[in-house]
């Protein structure tokens, strides 16, 4: 490109870090390429107390960035894959699924080194129904309350004593240099991650063959296979924030292991799936996991949620 490649990003410190990382990788892969960031505020960032599910879902974090792509202010957008709707708006393309950080959830607390170590009635903050349901299922004596805001805002609420502990994505803490705040990583057995958690997604207009070619250099085949399998589970089950749904794939050679879960918000009903398949057919594996979930009771849970 003869002009700088403009990369749209949210304004949060984490989003700016992620976009800066993509900028550096693209400039390193493509000699002579110059890129610059366009920081935008999104509807999701402006939410203070309302849940994503009640306010419109994950699309709140991407629509302003897509508007910048559509009107030519930006060429490429960088997202956290867990914030990207499973169905993109018409005319847009997921150009690449780039490197993935640790996909696990993490416990941050000054009072205990594990959720099991918190006393009965202790207040735990989380931003997702997925975490809420799994914490409630394993630790019913704890009180789980909503927690909104960026990483720094959530940590500040913890430090003010509003919560005994908070559960955040490990990837965000690590990328921001806040790994020292992590008291414990939650294993997938304790809290199965969200589809795409920890992975970066690059989006552009489907008509921009030049940008698609540039972004393709950052595709991480292993991460992409896992994320595509995880997202297919969400797609097959409705793919919205109102469903406490988790999906986590791991690659070993040419095989994928995919674990998935659907729960009622109170954690009293859970459906689980654990299956394996070929890494080159991730969507087929995701479809199979969704079918298994329905057979294990997910259909009943989804009906109760109106999904």
Let me know: does 197 contact 169? Beta carbons within 8 Å. yes
**CA distances, 133 to each of 155, 170, 274, 297 (Å):** 21, 18, 19, 15
Let me know: does 275 contact 258? Beta carbons within 8 Å. yes
HEC-encoded secondary structure of 144-158: EEECCCCHHHHHHHH
**Among 75, 83, 102, 105, the one annotated catalytic:** 83
Q: How far apart are CA 218 and CA 201, in angstroms?
A: 10
Give the DSSP letter of residue 127: S
Task: Take residue 208 and report the two structure tokens written for it.
Answer: 């921009």
Angle at 200 between CA 272 and CA 63, to 5 degrees: 95
Active site residue 83: yes
- Strand runs (DSSP E) across 127-233, as ranges? 143-146, 165-169, 184-186, 199-205
Q: How far apart are CA 185 and CA 10, in angstroms?
A: 26
Distance of CA 22 to the CA centre of its chain: 17
Q: How far apart are CA 258 and CA 167, in angstroms?
A: 23
Residue with tokens 């304790």: 190
Let me know: does 269 contact 246? Beta carbons within 8 Å. no
Sheet with 92-100, edge to edge strand ranges = 35-40, 5-10, 76-80, 199-205, 92-100
> Which SS3 state, helix, strand or coil, does residue 213 take?
helix
> Which SS3 state, helix, strand or coil, does residue 32 take?
coil
Q: Hey, which residues are catalytic here?
A: 83
């Amino acid at each position: 490109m003869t002009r700088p490649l403009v990369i749209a990003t949210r304004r949060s410190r984490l989003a700016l870090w992620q976009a800066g990382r993509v900028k550096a990788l693209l400039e390193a892969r493509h000699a002579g390429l110059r890129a610059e960031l366009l920081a935008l505020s999104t509807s999701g960032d402006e939410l203070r107390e309302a849940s994503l599910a009640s306010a419109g879902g994950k699309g709140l974090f991407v629509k302003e960035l897509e508007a910048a792509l559509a009107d030519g202010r930006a060429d490429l957008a960088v997202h956290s894959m867990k914030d990207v709707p499973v169905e993109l708006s018409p005319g847009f393309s997921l150009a690449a699924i780039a490197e993935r950080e640790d996909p696990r959830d993490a416990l941050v607390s000054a009072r205990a080194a594990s959720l099991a170590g918190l006393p009965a009635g202790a207040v735990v903050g989380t931003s997702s129904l997925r975490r809420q349901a799994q914490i409630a299922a394993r630790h019913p004596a704890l009180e789980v309350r909503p927690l909104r805001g960026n990483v720094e805002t959530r940590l500040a609420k913890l430090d003010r004593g509003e919560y005994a502990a908070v559960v955040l994505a490990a990837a965000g803490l690590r990328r921001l240099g806040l790994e020292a705040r992590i008291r414990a990583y939650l294993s997938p057995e304790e809290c199965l991650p969200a589809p795409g958690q920890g992975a970066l997604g690059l989006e552009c207009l489907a008509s921009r063959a030049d940008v698609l070619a540039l972004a393709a250099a950052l595709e991480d085949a292993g991460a992409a296979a896992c994320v595509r399998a995880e997202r297919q589970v969400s797609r097959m089950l409705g793919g919205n924030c109102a469903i406490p749904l988790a999906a986590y794939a791991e690659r070993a050679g040419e095989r994928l292991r995919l674990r998935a879960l659907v729960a009622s918000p109170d954690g009293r009903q859970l459906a689980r799936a654990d299956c394996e398949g070929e890494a080159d057919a991730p969507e087929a594996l995701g479809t199979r996991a969704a079918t298994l979930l329905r057979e294990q009771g997910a259909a009943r849970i989804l009906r109760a949620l109106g999904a």
